[in-house]
Structure 1
């Protein structure tokens, strides 16, 4: 009984240390790996490699999965590349087995436990809250605690062997061990812990190599349970990513299970492995690598299949809030930037219902462009979306650190500019609707004035369509100066018409207001672009 209690205590220490280590590594490396993942999205190979590397270093497939989910939900990552990162993360989890085998079983690390924990504790205490120094201290402390938990389990398992008779379970087939791995991993929600326990049992002789391999196959299947549960009430993209994870793990398990006997009956002796621990981690890495090689050419087709399987129309803001928890500030900030750009593109569409200019088709590139409804309905839908995004930004702001707040505050200010830009055009529509002058003449003059805005709106549309393009501040100021110049020249022309009695007094008022609203609109668009893509010194 004492050995069992010691084993459970060691397992608890190990799991707690893993959780602390994941959090600390996330603080140290999350920003870096998010940038790596973004840069690697240009190819499927880069996606698989970045997913593998990020999981191997961060030691957390759930953290990588969260980053992938945010990037997909924000529209910055195509689904096919997200699938590549997910299957890469699956391969990255095999690194845990190698680390435990090479360091935990082959090297005596007990002498460094106390120094790691002591130094880590001191660094943690001296560091400021949420600082990198504190994260470094927590990393050192967690590594020491993790080694201590591993040593405790190794010693307790050696004692368990004395009262355990493996031959009593010889009648159980490998499939029974697979179910054990699946159920146990689904309960504790940690494939790393399952691998650790299996390696301990294999090292102590409690199970043979084929049984251990079956447990690991089941553990890979069990890790999908958490994602499935998390994706049941999520958005389409969340369910698609979960579906890709399930299909990959199910496929690799179906592939790996029939290979247990041939691999360990023929290949294992041929490779001259003398240590079953190496045999297990090689097998785990091998069947995941084969799965990646087989799925890699089909990633595009799998993405299309998942899009057909999970497709429920929903507003972009609903998807954003379902996909990304507000406490994940760096990831949420990325998604907010994408959502702001979508709102700007939709605002151009809605405004053009009034301006009626031949704008380029790139405006329609925003996802979830509203269906052709009446202008008031589209205007209300846009304002609702802006309101939802503002509420989400405020939620994220409540969890943000000081260095993260300026970007979120800029986002709120941008939404105010965007609201004023659409309100200016709405005021134009209201003025025209209530004017009692001849419609044909007024519409001709309105069209003549609004056409002056077309080059500027095309320029704004082009900037919004290229997220990574740097907009020169001087170009924005020049746009605003030209808008003011056109406004003043048009006002001078109106005064000329009124002196010549070419227009009536009411037409003078409507056209003056029209030109002023258009100038205000351009002023607000300049404000939006300055905040959406601030100059380098403000980034």
Structure 2
């Protein structure tokens, strides 16, 4: 009989615990699914204020019925970079108080009365009906929301049944003297603490451990002196779930799990030391009293209700402890710096729009200077590739992306206020120019990637190609410097000098490409290096285009309009003496080296070069107009991360393009030769046209 009773006890306790944990898991999962992606979205939004984050941590844990689930979710968000450690720590504090709600739900099992209405609040009275409703929703509903609601009801019913099963299983133990004697050993606080830690680590649920304590308190006479240390230990043991979930996560994910552990260890240590020190002097009589289910829930709540609010103002200590345990390296510091909010873009300035615009202009100037630095570091990898310099160029490009995101959002907020004509003028310039600076940084990163991709194959440009690339790079450096100075000073005379240089850079791009085709035919250049050279020239030309956009923006906005197409059309048609003089000056300054091999090439290009340059200039006007329109439409939209090498063309397409262009050149030359022959113009001129 004794052995049968022991077996029944073991199966009842283990089976009840299994049903309890399973019901909690089903209910928690269903609640999380019912919230959907909105839960993570809300979590990332409300964490700016520590007290709001704290109270939301309480709410969300009370809803999902699991501090472990909340903490695991938090570890994932921190690891994904959607939330910082400082934002997440207060959610952890709130989760510790929110989890006490489960104990209060379980304490409803202790309700006992002759009044039928009061008995209806006892779970054993209504959970069968909840389970039935849940099964109907689960089996016959086709909507996901109703299915989740059914799972919640089923999970809650199974949880409560498991609790009742555990209570019934241990009820006979109150009449067993040996068990009562065994329980007296747990009057030692340290033993009770470690039992709570160990048991919770095994079942990975503090609510499960506290549920067992409540089941014992309902069936067996256990005192508060036994219950309190086990409850405190359960709070420490539950940290194992978050720690296990952080295995394989990044450093920040591990730090989030450690913050959860450190808080509960510090809380448990302080409570045990203070409470039992006071007990040594005051001899709390209630420790010898029998603990009820509601009493256990009250102990659990009071410990967290006192401890968690005290930690909210000093939550930064937990972050520092986690960062001391897993130190922050240089790479993480740089990442944090990149993602750091731009301090001068303070939302409080929005109430004074003119000051907010001035602050935005300062931030945009910083962005422009970083753009210059990014281009310099990327383009000067031409002479010698330096991995550190390449990494700096990448970091600068990411910082510039961050600047555009922050500035774009801030400028849209400013635009919602009433602005003076001068502020509206400044805002228009900023909205257009920050996009051009960001695109310049993208092309600079592409330039860096070209040099980076050349390293594994140890490819090197010929001396001739290096000279040509150095020339166009120097021209682009000058136009970028002019664009940045024009943006900072709004100097219209300086702005007028940008377009002539941009036209010269177009010509350089075309001439370098023609020379490359010549070298390719003669076998003096490889296909791979040819693609790299073409990519570099294209990026240089695009940077010049965006510099031209900045100059046009300053000129047009200052005149009270903004029609890029109309302005460039007018400029191309008029081309006054001053414009032509500037073009001639820059052509002399940035003339490609003309060595013996190059002379034949230049003579072949001849007037065709001018025709192609004029045609290309017209096409670029249309492209920039289209790009500017798109910029205006998307200036306020969130930025999407661009993949590396997003602007690199496929080799096959480029090869086909060059072949097509080559055929066009042959056709042009043949037509010219035929015309000259018909007119009887032979001799030296005709010979120059022929190959």
Indicate yes or no: 2:229 matched with 1:151: no
Assess if the C-alpha contact under 8 Å between 1:22 and 1:58 holds in 2: yes
The answer to whether structure 1 residue 290 and structure 2 residue 313 are counterparts is no
Deviation at 1:22?
Answer: 0.1
Equivalent residue for 2:66, pick from 56, 60, 66: 60
CA 1:169–1:149 in structure 2 vs 1: closer, same or farther (change >3 Å)?
Answer: closer
Please tell me whether the aligned partners of residues 421 and 524 of structure 1 are also in contact (alpha carbons under 8 angstroms). Answer: no
| Partner residue of 2:99 out of 77, 80, 93 | 93
- Give the aligned partner of residue 532 of structure 1: 638
1:140 to 153, 162, 168: 153
Query: In 2 relative to 1, CA 446–144 (structure 1 residues): closer, same or farther, beyond 3 Å?
Result: closer
How many angstroms does 1:101 deviate by?
Answer: 1.1
Q: TM-score, normalised by structure 2?
A: 0.53
In 2, distance between residues paired with 1:420 and 1:262? 67
Q: Which of 283, 297, 300 matches 2:316?
A: 300
In structure 2, how many angstroms separate the alpha carbons of the residues matched to 1:302 and 1:220? 17
CA contact 1:425–1:518 (8 Å) conserved in 2: no
Q: Note the C-alpha offset of 1:533.
A: 7.8
Q: Is the 8 A contact 2:374 2:396 kept in 1?
A: no
Q: 2:583 aligns with which of 496, 499, 503?
A: 503
Distance 1:53 1:421, change over 3 A: same
In structure 2, do the counterparts of structure 1 residues 74 and 527 end up closer, same or farther at CA, with 3 Å as the change threshold?
A: farther
SS class of match (2:59): helix
1:4/1:160 contact within 8 Å kept: no
Match of 1:112 in 2: 126
1:41 Cα deviation after fit: 2.5
Post-superposition offset of 1:89:
0.8
The equivalent residue for 1:182 is: 197
On the 8 A contact 1:255/1:287 being kept in 2, the answer is: no
> Which whole-Å deviations, capped at 9, do the CAs of 1:357-391 have from their partners, x for residues lacking one?
xxxxxxxxxxxxxx9953587359979xx9xxxxx
Bigger RCO (CA 8 Å, 6+ sep): 1
Mean Cα deviation higher: 164-173 or 515-524: 515-524
- Equivalent position to 1:280, from 296, 302, 306: 296
Q: Residue deviations 1:422-451, cap 9 Å, x none?
A: 665668999998468688777555554576
SS at match of 1:503: helix
Decide whether aligned partners of structure 1 residues 517 and 302 sit closer, same or farther in structure 2, where only a CA change above 3 A counts: farther
Q: Residue 295 of structure 1: CA displacement?
A: 2.1
Q: Tell me the residue number matched to 1:333.
A: none
Return the alpha-carbon distance in structure 1 between the equivalents of residues 444 and 631 of structure 2: 12
User: Which ranges in structure 1 are unaligned for 5 or more consecutive residues?
Assistant: 321-345, 357-370, 387-416, 457-477, 535-539
C-alpha contact (below 8 Å) 1:452/1:486 kept by paired residues: no
Equivalent residue for 1:48, pick from 54, 68, 89 = 54
Q: Report Cα offsets for 1:251-279 as digits up to 9, x if no partner.
A: 12112224258569855649x98753333
Change (3 A) 1:82 1:488: same
Pairing 1:13–2:26 present: no
Contact 2:68 2:238 in 1 (8 A): no
1:249 to 264, 268, 272: 264
Residues paired across the two proteins, number: 442
Counterparts of residues 453-468 of structure 1 (less than 5 Å): none
Structure 1 or 2, whichever has the larger Rg, is: 2
Change (3 A) 1:21 1:195: same
- Indicate the RMSD between aligned Cα atoms, in angstroms: 5.0
The answer for the alignment partner of 2:644 in structure 1 is: none
Provide, for residues 194-228 of structure 1, a one-character-per-residue CA deviation record: whole Å limited to 9, x for no partner: 01111111222264321121111111111122323
> Quick one: distance in 2 between partners of 1:22 and 1:11?
16
Alpha-carbon distance in 2 for matches of 1:91, 1:248: 12
Whether the 8 Å contact between 1:353 and 1:375 is mirrored in structure 2 is no
Deviation at 1:170, TM superposition (A): 2.8
Deviates more, 1:278-287 or 1:487-496: 487-496
Residues 82 and 204 (structure 1), Cα distance of their counterparts in 2 relative to 1, 3 Å cut: same
Q: 1:232 to 1:9 in 2, by over 3 A?
A: closer
Structure 1 segment 110-509 matched on structure 2, within 5 A: 110-128=124-142, 131-163=144-176, 165-171=179-185, 173-205=188-220, 207-231=222-246, 233-258=248-273, 259=275, 269=286, 276-313=292-329, 352-353=372-373, 373-374=388-389, 378-379=393-394, 424=443, 434=468, 444-445=478-479, 447-448=481-482, 485-486=563-564, 489-490=567-568, 492-493=570-571, 496=575, 500=580, 502-503=582-583, 509=613
Q: Secondary structure at the match of 2:142?
A: coil
8 A Cα contact 1:104 1:147, kept in partner: no
* Separation in 1, partners of 2:329, 2:208: 39
- Structure 2 counterpart SS, 1:254: helix
* Residues 304 and 533 of structure 1: CA distance in aligned 2, closer, same or farther (over 3 Å): same
What CA distance in whole angstroms lies between the structure 2 residues aligned with 1:251 and 1:440? 61
Aligned-pair CA distance for 1:20? 0.5
Q: What SS does the corresponding residue of 1:311 show, helix, strand or coil?
A: coil
Return the alpha-carbon distance in structure 1 between the equivalents of residues 226 and 375 of structure 2.
71
Judged with a 3 Å threshold, the aligned counterparts in structure 2 of structure 1 residues 34 and 61 are, in CA distance, closer, same or farther, namely same
CA offset digits 1:61-99 (Å, max 9, x no partner) = 133224433554455545334222111111111221122
Query: Partners of 1:197 and 1:61 in 2: how far apart?
Result: 17
The 1:111–1:67 alpha-carbon spacing in structure 2 relative to 1, beyond 3 Å, is same
Shift of 1:55: 1.0
Distance in 2, Cα, partners of 1:232 & 1:261: 38
Tell me the TM-score normalized by structure 1.
0.66
Change (3 A) 1:237 1:3: same
- Structure 2 residues without counterparts, runs of 5 or longer: 1-6, 113-120, 337-365, 377-385, 402-435, 451-464, 491-552, 592-609, 641-691
**What is the CA distance between 1:247 and its match in structure 2?**
1.6
Is structure 2 residue 28 aligned with structure 1 residue 22?
Answer: yes
